[in-house]
Amino acid sequence: MYNYPLSMSFKILALNPQVKITDASGQTVLYVKEKALSLKMNTRIFADEAQTQQLYQITADKMMGFTIPFSITSPDGALLAKVVRQGAKSLWKLHFPIQDTAGAEIGLIHEENPWIKVLDALVSDIPFVGMWINPAYLIDLRGKPALYLKKQPSMLEGKFILEKRGDFTDADEKMLIPGVIMMLMMERMRG
């Protein structure tokens, strides 16, 4: 189990999207690197910045579509969970169901307030203005709050704080954290 809250920082000017995740003590606990110039999302999550120990891989199950399932697997290819980007539901309010290996929906990533996302999209590129509009996301597990993700004011990189809001197991965490990372990578690509 990680030492919450987790801080996530995106390198803005990078050919390969990268995310460094540190725990409450400032120690790097995860490092995310997306494959450059790939037609399908192919993201690897490592335990360290040197990328010596891969923990997870996130891949899109299909290249295009309005509703796209993403598989979260262990390094040996064993399925841990699926996160589905709901196309129509996500147009207004972000909606990413989390499914277990049997396909049952066990969790949901959704926006706290969709109006903040609209405002963020409109003013995010205006210097000193956009940095104060910060969307937040709720991550529910089995109908109860589990995590809370909030964008932080920042000028030169994307920053988010992930707080623990409920109880969950290590196995649940192995589905939730990669799911949150996948959602952030997708939303970052959308702007």
Q: Does residue 1 or residue 141 have the better pLDDT?
A: 141
- Residue 151 domain-assigned (yes or no): yes
Say how many domains are in the chain: 1
Mean pLDDT of 26-53: 86
β strands within the chain, DSSP E = 6-11, 18-22, 28-34, 42-46, 54-60, 68-73, 79-85, 95-99, 105-111, 136-141, 144-152, 157-164
- What is the pLDDT, as a whole number, of residue 126? 60
| Alpha carbon 38 to chain centroid, angstroms | 18
- Residue 173 resides in a domain: yes
The residue ranking higher by pLDDT, 121 or 181, is 181
Cβ atoms of residues 33 and 51 within 8 Å: yes
Residue 191 is predicted with a pLDDT of 45
pLDDT at 20 over 80: yes
Selected residue with higher pLDDT from 109 and 118: 109
Tens of pLDDT along 145-161? 999 999 887 766 778 99
Is residue 129 assigned to a domain?
yes
CATH number at residue 14: 2.40.160
Identify whether 60 is part of a domain.
yes
> Does residue 138 belong to any structural domain of this protein?
yes
Residue 1 lies in a domain: no
Contacts for 14 with CB less than 8 Å, ≥ 6 apart: none
Confidence class for position 61, pLDDT limits 50, 70, 90: confident
Return the closest-CA partner of residue 181 out of 40, 46, 50, 67.
Answer: 46
Stretch 50-69: mean pLDDT: 85
Q: Which domain holds residue 131?
A: 6-190
User: According to the model, what pLDDT value does residue 88 have?
Assistant: 57
Position 33 in a domain = yes
> In the chain, what percentage of residues exceed pLDDT 70?
77
- For the cut 70, the answer to whether the pLDDT of residue 182 exceeds it is yes
pLDDT per position as a tens digit, 110-135: 988 866 666 666 666 566 655 667 78
